[in-house]
């Protein structure tokens, strides 16, 4: 029988990319949702769905084999979609990108196990592919000690307003990072560091940023330090974001009105700069530790010309494996705790995404 997949928020940039990946790599019947009726330009079904309408949500999920939650920002999501999936015995994945959501829903892990539901969080590009790149490196060590994950996005990254809102929401508060074996506070967009990424990006600045990997890697891997840094191209976007985080009054950045203003202004700017910067992404993983009793450094990189397409591939790959029965791990997990490296490599190869190990 044909498997059925529901993509919540499927009319957004990331949701559409996920739906396209499913169409290209599976035979599933894909349904996408949005709060309002939309014109659909993909060969799939569409339904108007408000996530706040619990009865409507339950009816939509009841018909599915898999639900993919792409309706962010996840700072504001309460986990009701995942709870409904667990109640109805439907597998679940999402593109959540903030530790607060992970901490909110992980409490339901035992219920998911009891119901036989596999729920994988933080899929996409970062988090998502980034998690598996780190896991691939960690497996080369006898004793890994330090993870340094950094990524840079050109322009808008091919994403929409929701991703812009997520970025500015991430500037609001200090966060805890796992440094030298203990949790220490870090300020968002601080401690600029110059990283050399593969071409066409080269040298650019990256900054501390609160992403789920900062939290889940410390839980998943026996390391002393986890550093996660993010940057933009062109580099002057980094300086503007730093000013927003450190110079503007905190009330501006913390208020919903301020976040919406900064998001819309930034989105308008990237619509212009995307024409010459592109919308790609580069990621760099550096891990240090010991192998065969000697100090060892592992380095891998990944480049893609379109961030949204890469995010769709990261999520779509996990969806494909779930639909094919190759992933079956009841419970709630971040990507690195659920996806074996062998399956990750094969999935990336089939999507022409190259992870280069240096």
Per-residue pLDDT reduced to its tens digit, 198-233: 999 999 999 999 999 999 999 999 999 999 999 999
Q: What is the pTM of this model?
A: 0.92
- pLDDT, residue 161, reads 66
CATH superfamily of 126-307: Dihydrodipicolinate Reductase; domain 2 (3.30.360.10)
- With cut-offs at 50, 70 and 90, classify the pLDDT of residue 265: confident
pLDDT at 39: 67
User: Range with the lowest mean pLDDT among 155-169, 258-272, 285-299?
Assistant: 155-169
What is residue 306's three-state secondary structure? strand
- Average pLDDT of 311-316? 98
What's the CATH number for 4-124+309-357? 3.40.50.720
Q: Which residues contact 54 (CB under 8 A, 6 or more apart)?
A: 80, 84
pLDDT band at 57 (very low <50, low <70, confident <90, very high): very high
Percent of the chain whose predicted confidence (pLDDT) is above 90: 74
251 or 151, which is more confident: 151
The stretch 173-183 carries a mean pLDDT of 95
Give the model's pLDDT for residue 167.
75
Structure tokens at 214: 């900062």
For residues 139 and 300, the answer to whether their CB atoms sit within 8 Å is no
Distance CA 83, CA 90 (A): 10
Residue 328 CB coordination number (10 Å): 11
Enumerate the domain spans of the chain: 4-124+309-357, 126-307
Q: Which residue has the tokens 């501006």?
A: 252
| Greater pLDDT, 257 or 314 | 314
Q: Which residue spans within the chain are E strands per DSSP?
A: 4-8, 29-34, 45-48, 66-69, 91-94, 118-121, 143-154, 175-179, 182-186, 193-197, 202-208, 225-233, 281-291, 294-304, 331-334, 355-357
């Amino acid at each position: 029988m044909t498997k059925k997949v529901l993509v919540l928020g499927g009319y957004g940039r990331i949701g559409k990319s996920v739906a396209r990946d499913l169409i290209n790599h599976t035979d599933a019947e894909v349904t996408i949702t949005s709060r309002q009726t939309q014109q659909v330009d993909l060969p799939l079904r569409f339904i108007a769905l408000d996530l706040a309408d619990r009865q409507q949500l339950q009816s939509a999920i009841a018909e599915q084999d898999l639900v993919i939650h792409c309706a962010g920002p996840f700072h504001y999501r309460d986990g009701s979609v995942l709870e409904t999936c667990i109640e109805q015995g439907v597998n679940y994945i999402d593109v959540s990108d903030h530790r607060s959501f992970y901490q909110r829903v992980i409490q339901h892990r035992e219920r998911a196990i009891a119901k036989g539901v596999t729920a994988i969080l933080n899929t996409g590009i970062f988090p998502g592919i980034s998690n598996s790149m780190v896991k691939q490196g960690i497996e080369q060590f006898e004793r890994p000690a330090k993870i340094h994950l950094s990524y840079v996005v050109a322009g808008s990254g091919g994403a929409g307003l929701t991703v812009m809102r997520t970025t500015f929401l991430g500037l609001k508060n200090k966060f805890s990072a796992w440094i030298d074996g203990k949790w220490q506070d870090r300020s968002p967009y601080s401690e600029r560091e110059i990283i050399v990424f593969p071409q066409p990006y080269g040298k650019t600045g990256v900054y501390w940023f609160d992403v789920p990997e900062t939290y889940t890697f410390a839980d998943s891997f026996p390391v002393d330090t986890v550093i996660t840094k993010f940057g933009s191209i062109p580099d002057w976007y980094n300086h503007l974001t730093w000013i927003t985080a450190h110079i503007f009054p905190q009330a501006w950045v913390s208020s919903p009105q301020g976040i919406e203003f900064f998001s819309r202004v930034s989105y308008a700017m990237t619509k212009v700069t995307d024409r010459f910067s592109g919308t790609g992404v580069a990621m760099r993983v550096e891990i240090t530790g010991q192998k065969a009793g000697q100090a060892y450094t592992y380095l891998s990189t990944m480049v893609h010309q379109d961030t949204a397409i890469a995010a769709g591939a990261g999520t779509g790959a996990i969806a494909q494996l779930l639909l094919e029965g190759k992933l079956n791990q009841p419970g709630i997990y971040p990507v690195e705790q659920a996806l074996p490296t062998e399956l990750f490599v094969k999935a990336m190869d089939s999507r022409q995404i190259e992870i280069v190990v240096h």
